[in-house]
Amino acid sequence: METYLLEWAQLLLRWLHVIVAIAWIGSSFYFVFLDANLVPPQDDALRAKGVGGEMWAVHGGGFYNPQKYAGAPGNINSTLHWFYWESYATWLSGFALFSLLYLYQAPTFLIDNQVLAWSPLAAGLTAIAFLVGFWLFYHQLCKAVFHHPKGQAWVAGTLLVVIAALCWLACHLFAGRAAFVLMGATIATTMSANVFFCIIPGQRVVVKALTSGEPIDEKALAFYGLRGKTRSVHNTYFTLPVLFAMLANHEGLLVSHPQRWLILFLMMFAGAAIRQFFVQMHAWRLGKSAHPWPFALAGVVVILGLVVALRPEPVSASADTSPVGLTQVQAILDQRCVSCHGAQVQMKNVRLDSAEAVLANAQNIYQQAVVLRQMPMNNATAITEQERLALGRWFLAGPKP
């Protein structure tokens, strides 16, 4: 019953996490697009009201005219909408899911004894240290270079080195899937912390100053405005690397590769480069910057390079092609899979301890153990390459009783 309830909890938390993440990322992408496409208003009435930029858009049959005020609006006579619960809900649901899978079930999902045999407590505390430690380092780095003319270049260069080091460390401490998810969660935690500790508190100060009627501290407003804008820009570059790390943990080809840390880092770098292309494209269309094609090219070259580098070796002509029968398949599954899919435990509600069950799950066995190579989890039962190939030959020949 516990396994059954855990499956439902994972499903519902994952569903919630994806929904709120779409809302957060969607609003983030929209406001980056909006800010990059604003142009000075031509209408004297708008300029008189303090509008510094506007744009026109059409969607769903309606026309929209978003406007951005250079300073305080004359008055806010309707609801002021805040955008922060999307971020908080994404982090809370994500951390709950991470806790349920990787902390509560650390021996199964977080720890791979072939990578490092250590206690669930030590592994769990180290994973938490990744989340907290990266935010603290990043936050102090941003504060240290805030007023430096090349501060953002320093942040970008330093983070590239630190993230590469963390990718290497995570993949040498944790199971492959866990390492990918942990790197995504580490950067996502910093994104949400940016909203919670910097962006929203600064916006509250600005809103209060602009609407209270009290004297305005222009220096303080400039600081909070610039800090919020800077952290928002950082968040948009973090987005695609986080999404890749979260999604790629389902690809056995990547998470089981001996150099998986390098694959993870290079794909995250490619995601950031591609995001820069889209961000700068808006500015290029308005003549504010050069064409960002080099960033797109860099991202595509990295991805294509990995596709070529990871291609499977051709099957040798001398490879075993002997037919495989159900009896041989059952012997492999009894040794490698039944401990989690038998009478006592049925992970994912799958049983493989009888001929009928094996035939009913033939497609699933082929996909998970041969194509995706996700099972056994972290290869805890040490299934061999020859055994995977045997399962593949049995299925492709048409599984028979």
**pTM of the entire structure?**
0.87
Nearest CA among 332, 329, 352, 333 for reference residue 342: 352
Largest CA distance in the chain: 85
| Run of H or E including 109 | helix 106-109
Instruction: Tell me if residue 58 falls in helix, strand or coil.
Output: strand
- Rounded-to-integer distance, Cα 217 and Cα 209, Å: 8
- Residue 55 · residue 65 · CB < 8 Å: yes
Q: What is the pLDDT along the chain (401 residues), one digit of tens a residue?
A: 677 888 899 999 999 999 999 999 999 999 989 988 899 999 998 998 889 999 999 999 999 999 998 776 767 777 888 999 999 999 999 999 999 999 999 998 999 998 999 999 999 999 999 999 999 999 999 999 999 999 999 999 999 999 999 999 999 999 999 999 999 999 999 999 999 999 999 999 888 887 777 777 888 888 998 999 999 999 999 999 999 999 998 888 899 899 999 999 999 999 999 999 999 998 898 888 899 999 999 999 999 999 999 987 765 544 677 888 888 989 898 899 988 898 787 777 788 888 898 888 889 899 888 887 888 887 888 898 899 989 989 988 887 77
- CB-based contacts of 355-360 (< 8 A; 24+ apart in sequence): 355/326, 355/330, 355/401, 358/326, 358/329, 358/330, 358/333, 358/399, 359/326, 359/399, 359/401
State CA 239 to chain mean position distance: 7
Phi and psi, residue 40, nearest 5°? -60, 135
Would you list the DSSP string of 157-218? HHHHHHHHHHHHHHHHHS-HHHHHHHHHHHHHHHHHHIIIIIIHHHHHHHHHHHHS-SPP-H
* Angstrom distance (rounded) from CA 21 to CA 238: 13
